[in-house]
Amino acid sequence: MADQYHKNSVAMASSTATHQQDAGRLNNRAFLRGTKILIVEDFELNRNLFKTFLLHFATDVDTAENGLHALQLIERNQTENPSSPYDAIIMDIHMPVMNGYEATTRLRAIEEYSLLPIIGLSATMMDNETKDCLKYGMNDFVRKPVDVDELLTVLAKWISRGQPE
């Protein structure tokens, strides 16, 4: 498990460094500018890598270490910043306390969050897990180690669907 964690972190860090060098390419991802994204991931290093990467796009990023913490942050955000809801959630599937499936199920039961884009994330994404992501209400999924182009493509697909025309 520690080896897989290290591989995930190194792969994302390497990908992030490559993309940081390509400033023109980063600027082409304007759809993220002004968005608010919640990252739900149990490994702190991975949370920080996601956050650092997304901050390059002028994105407001919050992080949670498990599904329960995510639900608490979403509720607090709704109370304290009702005019600034989350535009998307990147949700790890396997976490302690509350996994991504349970957190997604609970969010989908609340009308305000029924259409909120939730992107599942897993290093062990097998065929049954991809089906489970959709079954439990996630909109899409990305495998670890994360390919940042794939992540951005998936975010663009779902964030743009929620924008007014």
Of 76, 72, 67, 63, whose CA–CA distance to 37 is shortest? 63
Kindly report the CATH number that applies to the domain delimited by 2-161.
3.40.50.2300
Locus of tokens 């599937």: 93
Of 126, 117, 106, whose CA–CA distance to 151 is shortest? 117
What tens digit of pLDDT does each residue of 5-41 get?
Answer: 555 554 555 555 444 444 444 444 778 888 999 999 9
Question: Mean pLDDT throughout 111-119?
Answer: 94
Locus of tokens 């743009």: 160
What is the token pair recorded at 67? 């599904």
Q: 0.85 exceeded by the pTM?
A: no
What tens digit of pLDDT does each residue of 148-160 get?
Answer: 899 999 999 998 7
Q: Where along the chain do its domains lie?
A: 2-161
Give the whole-number percent of the chain exceeding pLDDT 70: 78
Tell me the C-alpha distance between 121 and 161, whole Å. Answer: 20
What tens digit of pLDDT does each residue of 74-104 get?
Answer: 999 999 988 889 999 999 999 999 999 999 9
